[in-house]
Amino acid sequence: MEMSLYLIQKKVHRKYKRSTNATDLLSPDVLNALATTSGCSPQLQPLTCSSSCLAQKYRLINGTCNNRNNPRWGTSNTALARWLPPDYEDGFSQPKGWNPGRLYRGFKLPLVRDITNKILRTSNKTNMTEDHLYSHILVEWGQYIDHDFAFTPQSTSQVTFTGGVDCRNICHNLNPCFPIKVLQSDPRSKINECITFYRSSPTCGTGDQGTAFETPSNLNSRQQINAVTSFIDASTVYGSTPAHEKKLRDHSSKEGLLLTNPKYKDGSHELLPFVDQAPSPCFQEPNVTQNERIECFLAGESRANEVLTLASMHTIWMREHNRLAKALHRINPHWTSETIYQEARKIIGALHQILTMRDYIPKILGSQVSDQFLGKYDGYDETLNPTLSNVFATAAFRFGHATISPKIQRFDENYKEHPKYRSINLQNTFFSPWRIIKEGGLNPLFRGLLAKPAKLQTSDQMMIEELTEKLFTLTNAVALDLASLNLQRGRDHGLPGYNDWREFCELERLETKANLRKAISDLDLVEKIMDLYGHPNNIDIWLGGLAEDFLPGARIGPLFACLIGKQMKALREGDRFWWENPGVFTSAQRHELSQHSLSRVICDNTAITEVPLDAFRLGQFPQHFVQCDQVPGLNLQAWHENPQQVGSCGPPPPIEDGAFVLCTSSGLSIISYVCHHGFHLFGPEELICSVKGWSSDPPVCKGVVIERGAHRSDFPANKTTAPTS
């Protein structure tokens, strides 16, 4: 849509020597056709929320209608929220650094790769400082849960919009290419002049769309998309769109199961299915034949194959869903597969919320600051917008990149180095699902995550070289640099600078070198920052937040604590389906959910028999580990339902290409119908049981044409790149 409108305006400007808005030149029918073809149409249409009992009971897969008054809040494929106005060089679209000669407070912005080399990169020869409190699974949960609520797709085009030049072959700024320049003093300069970078896709109607010759005062600033739901809802397990959800489900099962791999197993445990793309872009075992290929795993989130430990986390939650679904089927044999699936999904979503807010966030923010921003849950606030903020997704929650260790540890039953499957360098685990299948499965990986400490970020140990010099070397012609990508992404998104965000959080602006030391005590680090940026107001938000001294008991400084705390409160209070919200679960169910833990999930879904009670807290084996039978779990009897409560009307009539769910309300037995993806419901959405029987004949599901459209990820697997967040 952006390019079509641009070309129309360009032609008009060239022929008639006047500027005009392209939308003024096109009829409503043509604009509608363009919006439909480009995929913008659904975002421009008004949204009507169902009032059915089912809509009150289960969240929709794409997050719509969570807030009944603002049905697009927190939904997938909508714009990230802005807590401050964007800061673009031209006022509406061009990122900082787009025009190389531009001065900021008398200084040129430093190249992001130069910042990496002089401040962020830590040599692999350095003995990394280990976190004495927390295990490496804390880092893994951070990445995994980030993918539950944040995913900014890149431009769908790999070539320049004008001229069609491949972005990998140019080193100057031309949409959507925003390459990362490499200085001649950089060892990388012998390999490449710049690192390829694609701008994030703008949301429909923002940035350059229809505005190429407007004045900045009339423009709608470029906004970026969040392709997944903002909510903590286990979209990593189930997907964020109906089409993706359909791919993940085992529709032949009567137990509401997710698909598993039909070819391979991990001992007696299931593995994720493969993607339907063959050959897939995942790296293969050396010397493998075409018939022995191990394709990428299919999960609820497209970045699941980024690293072995992330793929393992996705796998364990697929197993947990299927374990719960089978147990619910035994307890409630009268439940339909749809009811079982939705109830298991609801439990899994609640567990993601509990593990994140109870076990993870207080360790990151520190208990005192966590209480300050979150405190006790006071219920759902329909006025609070839960939509994920741009600064949170693009900067604050990327603090975890500085806590990643250079090795993936693999341990045996005694939590010692595995004699057969040794620990491996991080670079050799990117997009390599074959290692899970051919090298011992999940057990060695989870033991390593539980028993090895996280890397502790210090002022002189920010980012390991595995991430700055060797990122995705297996799938890329030229390795990427995660630190530079983070900085460039912040500029691409128009994020205001470090001091603007400190002011937003009611923290003191630090506008001199001396003042900077109030937040960053390491004088050497302050000197390096000032040498590069010239003025504190020029500092990129991600670097400034990362450089701050930790708060007491925390793993981040005050700025990131504010931004993360504010976002977490919005995700909790702004979610109508939050697990503690009265009516979502019964009090007995809430009690059982609160007993569960990540350690219990590991016990139930691997062959591991000894774990720490708190998986995130570092302990020594065997003294700080317990047998799995000593770890509290979930008693699903709290979900038992008496079949007699269904009513006197007999079995509800089934429908083809759809399903039904029992939804009791005000003492009435109500059956809510839903069609499978690709079908629309015709007829009554609900049937009510009365003394005369069901209130009407059931509806029918009729097929509809599904519009195709997809966004490419920050690091698409079908290219030479893969996601950064």
DSSP for 573-619 reads: HT-TT-TTSBTTB-HHHHHHHHH--HHHHHHHHSS--EE-SSTTB--
pLDDT of residue 719: 35
27 lies in a domain?
yes
Rounded to whole angstroms, how far apart are CA atoms 485 and 194? 12
Question: What are the C-alpha distances in Å from 189 to residues 337, 461, 486, 487?
Answer: 57, 24, 20, 19
CB 137 within 8 A of CB 453: no
Q: Decide if 348 is inside a domain.
A: no
Is 548 domain-assigned?
no
Query: Considering the domain boundaries, does residue 214 fall inside one?
Result: no
Question: Residue ranges of the chain with pLDDT lower than 50?
Answer: 210-218, 706-725
Residue 407 DSSP symbol: E
pLDDT at 723: 37
Q: Helix, strand, or coil here: 571? A: helix
* Full residue range of the structural domain in which residue 17 is found: 1-45
Sequence-ordered list of residues with C-beta below 8 angstroms from that of 380, at least 6 positions apart, any chain: 573, 574, 575, 576, 578, 581
Between the two ends of the chain, the Cα-to-Cα distance in Å is 26
The CA–CA distances, whole Å, from 12 to 9, 16, 20, 30, 701 equal: 5, 6, 8, 17, 47
Contact partners, residue 101, CB within 8 Å, separation at least 6: 108
Q: In this structure, which amino acid lies at residue 262?
A: P
Q: Tell me, yes or no, if 147 is annotated catalytic.
A: yes
Domain count, the chain: 1
Positions of E strands within 463-570:
463-464
Residue 661 resides in a domain: no
Q: Which two tokens stand for residue 404?
A: 């990643």
Sequence letter at residue 32: N
17 located within any domain: yes
Contact by Cβ (8 Å): 489, 428? no
Tell me, yes or no, whether 614 lies in a domain.
Answer: no
Contact 59, 349 (CB under 8 A): yes
Question: Is residue 7 in some structural domain?
Answer: yes
CA distance 386 to 37: 30
| 463-464/121-122 β-pairing | parallel
pTM > 0.75: yes
Cα gap 364→557, rounded to integer Å: 10
Copy the structure tokens of residue 127: 């003995």
**Rounded to whole angstroms, how far apart are CA atoms 185 and 338?**
60
Going by C-alpha positions, the residue among 541, 564, 527, 561 that lies closest to residue 493 is 541
**Looking at residue 707, what is its pLDDT?**
43
Which H or E element spans position 692?
Answer: none
Selected catalytic residue, list 136, 147, 314, 493: 147
What pLDDT shows up at residue 75?
96
| Per-residue confidence (pLDDT) for residue 5, from 0 to 100 | 74
Query: Smallest Cα–Cα separation from 89: which of 224, 204, 226, 219?
Result: 219
CA 317 to mean position of chain CA atoms? 15
- Between CA 242 and CA 227, with CA 585 as vertex, the angle to 5 degrees is 25
CA dihedral of residues 161, 167, 173, 176 (deg, nearest 10): 40
- What whole-number distance in Å separates Cα of residue 403 and Cα of residue 207? 35
